[in-house]
């Protein structure tokens, strides 16, 4: 393997660690082409922002860093992303690498191995799920994810039963299945699954049944929260389910 391949593989094998990403940035800084040198600054800057307290980010005290990262991304992201562009053009960088992609479910089945050879992807939105459901929910690619979105996919509760029973959900912390055709059996499938123990949030909004915590807001501040009857029924049967509760509003999928 080349130095580049070795460094990238270390990032892929250790997606939570900053050190491999910073080592990769060091290699980028030593190269002769402008996009790769710029990638070094981008990786280091995004890592710095990822460790900046939220209150500082909210007050714009690091606005100059974010502005610089945005400028680098606008100029070079398609160059950095080029190997993945034949598969998807919907992506997001986190800590200097592509960690989110959106694509057709069929594309994931065809190109999943390639995607995870190129980037430490852990967050994904899928379309066209109904067309490939059995193969998809058995795909080892899903086991790599921390967050999964399948909104507006025409799903029914038996799709969620397939997902919950497959074992690939063990790493999921965030799930959104909004605006489908899901009833209480979808929530019951997640609650009963031995593979969903790490799930922190599940979004059922816009379905015939939404068991998730409802929030009352006033001037942008949550002033009340309550479980609707379907949520109460699930917790009566299964005990406390953390993914039903979001007392501060829906969490950021990238920080779950």
7, 20 contact by CB (below 8 A): yes
pLDDT of the residue at 156:
94
| CB environment 14-31: b (16+ within 10 A), e (fewer) | ebeebebbbbbbebbeee
140, 168 contact by CB (below 8 A): yes
Q: Is 57 exposed, middle or buried (0-12, 13-18, 19+ CB in 10 A)?
A: middle
Tell me the C-alpha distance between 232 and 119, whole Å: 40
Tell me the C-alpha distance between 116 and 88, whole Å: 13
pLDDT of the residue at 58:
67
Q: For residue 230, how many other CB atoms are within 10 A of its CB?
A: 18
Tens place of pLDDT for every residue, the chain, 256 residues?
788 999 999 999 999 999 999 999 999 999 989 999 999 999 999 999 998 887 776 666 678 888 999 999 999 999 999 999 999 999 999 999 999 999 999 999 999 999 999 999 999 999 999 877 778 888 888 999 999 999 999 999 999 999 999 988 899 999 999 999 999 999 999 999 999 999 999 999 999 999 999 888 877 777 788 899 999 999 999 999 999 998 788 899 998 8
pLDDT of the residue at 218:
77
């Amino acid at each position: 393997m080349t130095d580049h391949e070795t460094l990238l593989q270390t990032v892929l094998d250790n997606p939570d660690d900053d050190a491999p990403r910073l080592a990769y940035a060091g290699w980028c800084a030593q190269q002769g082409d402008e996009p790769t040198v710029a990638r070094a600054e981008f990786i280091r800057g995004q890592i710095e922002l990822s460790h900046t307290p939220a209150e500082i980010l909210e007050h714009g005290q690091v606005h100059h860093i974010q502005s610089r990262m945005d400028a680098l991304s606008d100029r070079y992201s398609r160059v950095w992303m080029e190997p993945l562009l034949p598969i998807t053009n919907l992506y997001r960088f986190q800590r200097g690498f592509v960690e989110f992609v959106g694509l057709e479910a069929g594309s994931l089945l065809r190109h999943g191995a390639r995607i995870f050879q190129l980037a430490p992807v852990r967050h994904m939105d899928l379309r066209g799920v109904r067309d490939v459901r059995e193969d998809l929910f058995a795909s080892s690619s899903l086991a790599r994810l921390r967050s999964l979105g399948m909104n507006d996919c025409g799903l029914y509760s038996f799709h969620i039963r397939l997902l919950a029973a497959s074992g690939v959900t063990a790493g999921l912390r965030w799930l959104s299945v909004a605006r489908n055709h899901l009833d209480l059996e979808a929530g019951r499938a997640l609650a009963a699954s031995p593979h969903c123990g790490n799930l922190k949030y599940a979004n059922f909004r816009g379905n015939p049944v939404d068991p998730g915590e409802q929030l009352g807001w006033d001037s942008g501040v949550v002033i009340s929260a309550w479980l609707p009857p379907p949520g109460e029924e699930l917790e009566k049967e299964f005990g406390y389910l953390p993914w039903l509760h979001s007392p501060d509003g829906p969490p950021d999928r990238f920080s779950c």
